[in-house]
Structure 1
Amino acid sequence: MDNDAGPTAPGPAAGTPKSPSGLRALVVEDETSLAGVLGSYLERDGFETTLIHDGLQAVLIARDVDPDVIVLDLGLPTLDGIEVCRQIRTFSDAYVVVLTARSEEVDTLIGLSVGADDYMTKPFSPRELMARIQAMLRRPRTPREAEDQHHDLRFAELKVDVQGRDVWLGGEPVALTRTEFDLLAALAQRPRMAFSRRQLIDHVWGQTWVGDEHLVDVHIGHLRRKLGDDAAVGRFVRTVRGIGYRMGSGA
């Protein structure tokens, strides 16, 4: 881990105005020295940063702070990171990056299944974490080739409003995380194209992202569950064997 961070200070009180950049970050890490380093890096990048060392407090503070980004350790007192993420996802669509000292794949997949957007395994470089956060924040809200397209995309009873970032299924709104929506939008904008995992990584996480590409499978599974889709049928998201995924017709 890099050790060149400057002095750290407690995070700002909840409810204070946003920084000039308009971005807020919540660091939830019980190792206070690491939390301070991460907070310092985030502040250097223009974030107003709140440091929390307890899982239960993190859920309470997240409601008040309304962060754009949450850096969340899995090993926390009072509530573990998995439960913190699950509860936060009931009221926030902030980007969530999970930190874990356990390298077992199951921990990563469990964390992502409750709505985390990305993960990093300790030890890691804070610079790499910041690069991933900035890549997430730079995600185009629509694919470049569709920036001037304003009509809704329809797949039978599924409607995707790319510009407004809204999804309806059978006339009812569907609550997606930012990452789930970005994946759906990428597929929906090119419904005839079969995307590889790497292509979806490039679209949603950015071309500099490095990690296990099966991250895509986890988010696709979560997206399918919210759409009431069956992987064996693929009404809305089809598996293309040996390649990856493409949009289904909804039939």
Structure 2
Amino acid sequence: MTANQANGERIAVIIEDDLDIRQLLVEVLEQGGFETHSAGNGLDGIELVRRHDPIVTTLDVSMPGIDGFEAARRIRAFSGTYLIMLTALGEEADTLIGLQSGADDYLVKPFRPRELRARIDAMLRRRERERDSRTDVESLTAGRTADASTPAPAPPAPAPASPSGAAEASPETSAPPAPEPVAAEPAAADATTAPAPLTGAADGHDGWYEHRGLRLQPEMHLASLDGEQLELTRSEFELLRLLMDSGRRVRSKADLALSLRGESYVTSYYVSDADKRAIEVHLANLRRKLGESATQPNWIETVRGVGYRMTAED
């Protein structure tokens, strides 16, 4: 996480060649409390992202000079900004190429300003939850450190010696006999119980999820595979967290799409085919970075016609 993002600065960069749309985006984001910086072409926009380190960046596909796809690839090489691609006329090919280039989300022109704000707000809510969780972990760690540094109470003074030279132990000062150790009984295995989710913060692993050498720490936004750090986009990271948190429980594409928006899985929310296709692209990008194939997965398993889940431990 960068300095601006750690300090909670609401900075946005807008890369859009259409002046009217650019002014609309500036207005929408500034109404949301963002400090905005805008550019009319990809090269200038990349430099703005490098200079201002924004939390969110909107990026048009069709621009003079380098297009939005190339701009996205260059931005993603140095920035973790939440990248929203703006595509025209609902062309699915543009959407898919944009996501493959590193975009986190997309909107089709003409878009509704309220929907743009809703998606950005959902991203910010996830960041707030991560920051709160990180604070809790740091507080817990600090408490453990303080407990470890607190000196142990001094042992009681020995009882005065009796005339015969032996120490007399009174009932009040005698230590009670230590209880005999009792062997813990093994829990009965239940073959009908569904597999539990993978390890997480509640089990004493300091918030790390682990599975077959793949490790994830949501509070610190860290992901690694066999000790090598993974460079994931925000959406890829969040999808991996959702799947690792669910373990062997299957998550549908609609469920994952809604979770990325910060919404619960209820039928009153609409999930389009394009939204589901976006999940497929994010998962394909994630698998590519993990170095696995969909047909022989080591980590993420496709349940045909249903959704995705983590592979079994064995």
Deviating beyond 6 angstroms after TM superposition, the runs of 4 or more aligned structure 1 residues are 144-147
- The structure with more radius of gyration: 2
1:60 and 2:60 are equivalent in the alignment: no
Which of 35, 45, 55 pairs up with 2:22? 35
Cα distance in 2 for partners of 1:137, 1:50 equals: 19
Q: Which residue of 2 aligns with 1:233?
A: 296
Equivalence for 1:218: 281
User: What corresponds to 1:4 in structure 2?
Assistant: none
Q: Which runs of 5+ in 1 are unaligned?
A: 1-16
Structure (1 or 2) with the greater helix fraction? 2
**Structure 1: distance between partners of 2:90 and 2:292:** 31
Mapping of 1:1-251 within 5 angstroms? 22-139=9-126, 140-141=129-130, 150-207=206-263, 210-211=271-272, 212=274, 213-249=276-312
State the match for 1:8 in structure 2. Answer: none
Q: Structure 2, unaligned stretches of length 5 or more?
A: 134-196, 264-268
Q: Name the CA distance, whole Å, in 2 between partners of 1:174 and 1:44.
A: 35
Give deviations 1:166-197, integer Å, cap 9, x for gaps: 11111111111111110000111121210001
Tell me which moved more, 204-213 or 238-247.
204-213
User: Residue by residue, what CA displacement relative to the aligned partner does 1:206-243 show, whole Å, maximum 9, x if unpaired?
Assistant: 32675422211000000000011110012111001111
State the one-letter code of the partner of 2:130. Answer: R
Distance of 1:42 and 1:209 partners within structure 2? 24
Conservation of the 8 A alpha-carbon contact between 1:156 and 1:249: no
Q: Contact 2:12–2:37 (CA<8 Å) still a contact in 1?
A: yes
Partners of 1:187 and 1:45 lie apart in 2 by 31
Q: Distance in 2 between matches of 1:127 and 1:90?
A: 30
TM-score, normalization by structure 1: 0.86
Q: Match of 1:22, as an amino acid? A: E
**Amino acid of the residue matched to residue 108 of structure 2?**
T
Q: Quick one: distance in 2 between partners of 1:124 and 1:209?
A: 16
**Contact 2:89–2:108 (Cα < 8 Å) also in 1:** yes
CA RMSD of aligned residues (A): 2.3
| Number of matched pairs | 233
Deviation of the 1:250 alpha carbon: 6.6
Paired amino acid for 2:66 = L
> Does structure 1 conserve the Cα–Cα contact (< 8 Å) formed by 2:211 and 2:299?
yes
Distance 1:250 1:147, change over 3 A: closer
Q: Give, in whole Å, the separation in 2 of the partners of 1:90 and 1:247.
A: 28
Separation of aligned partners in 2, 1:50 and 1:151: 36
How big is the shift at 1:102?
3.7
